[in-house]
Amino acid sequence: MSRSRFDIRAQPGFGFITLFTFFALYLPIAALVVYSFNGAESLSQWGGFSSRWFVAAWQNSAVQDAAIRSLVIALWAAGLATVAALMAALATTRTAPYRGQTLKYALINQPLMVPEIVTAVALLIVFSRIKVWTGYSGLGYLVLAHTAFCIPFAYLPIRARLESMDLTLERAAADLYATRWKTFRHVTLPLLRPAVIAGFMLAFVISLDDVVITEFVKSGGQDTLPTYMLGQLRRETTPEINAIATVFLALSTVLVVIFFFINRKKQ
């Protein structure tokens, strides 16, 4: 007796639930984008279509400084996190199973499981002592804090790619007397490139978007774009905040599209 194959799409109400989910997810984003072109001074009134708030944000020196600072921190943090994640992924996959391997995996992904506020408070305590001892209060603390938080985001796609890779080519390179470094450089790394790029882009977006850790770790005058937006929301809300958020959305979309085409070309 043959059994019919289960198909979730054929279940009653599937279409309605799907449409409702997309509606609930994307309606607020659509409203944000629409009101970023609002010509009025207030978010509660529609004053006609206008790009004045994008121009105002572009000409705002505080927004420029915060945006440049956010990009610098995100690039450094994403780069360092990707390198650390790559080494950790190789160490936990290209080896025979050993006692404590699962514990290491859990420790690497600990920032994903612990509430972000806990990580932020812990970093605040540690960095505050270091600031007292060294007298240094630059952006290095934010870079280190973001790197620590972003490592598991870069680690997961790289580890997943390593676990699914066929070892035939790496073994062939070893049989041809290639050193481990040459095998990694000419065989493993090219095969890992899409995952490394994905890990970097994910870490970059996470760092660029972070508020909680940045708010706790930053010193005076070190606002990033998200913390600047949070401060403006506490004082006076204008469509300028919507314009900045729309640019954030556009940047994230561009990164996703770039990764899609890179991955498609690689395949």
Integer Cα distance of 83 and 18 in angstroms: 38
Integer Cα distance of 111 and 91 in angstroms: 19
Total-model pTM: 0.81
Torsional sign, CA 171, 174, 178, 183: positive
In the chain the domains, ranked by start, together with CATH numbers, are 60-266 (1.10.3720.10)
Tokens 């990164």 found at: 255
- The pLDDT score that the predictor gives to residue 1 is 45
- The pLDDT score that the predictor gives to residue 142 is 93
Q: Across 8-92, where does the E strand assignment appear? A: none
Residue 40 DSSP SS3: coil
pLDDT by residue for the chain (267 residues), tens only, comes to: 455 676 677 777 777 888 888 888 888 888 888 888 887 777 667 777 888 888 888 888 888 898 899 999 999 999 999 999 999 888 888 777 777 777 888 888 888 888 889 989 999 999 989 988 988 888 889 999 999 999 999 998 898 888 888 777 777 887 777 778 888 888 888 888 888 988 898 899 889 888 899 999 988 888 898 888 888 877 777 778 888 888 888 887 887 777 677 666 555
Of 257, 191, 183, 217, the closest CA to residue 77 belongs to 217
Dihedral pair phi/psi, residue 181, rounded to 5°: -65, -45
Q: What is the dihedral of CA 209, 143, 214, 66, to 10 degrees?
A: -70
- The pLDDT score that the predictor gives to residue 267 is 53
Tell me the sheet residues that pair with 49: 38
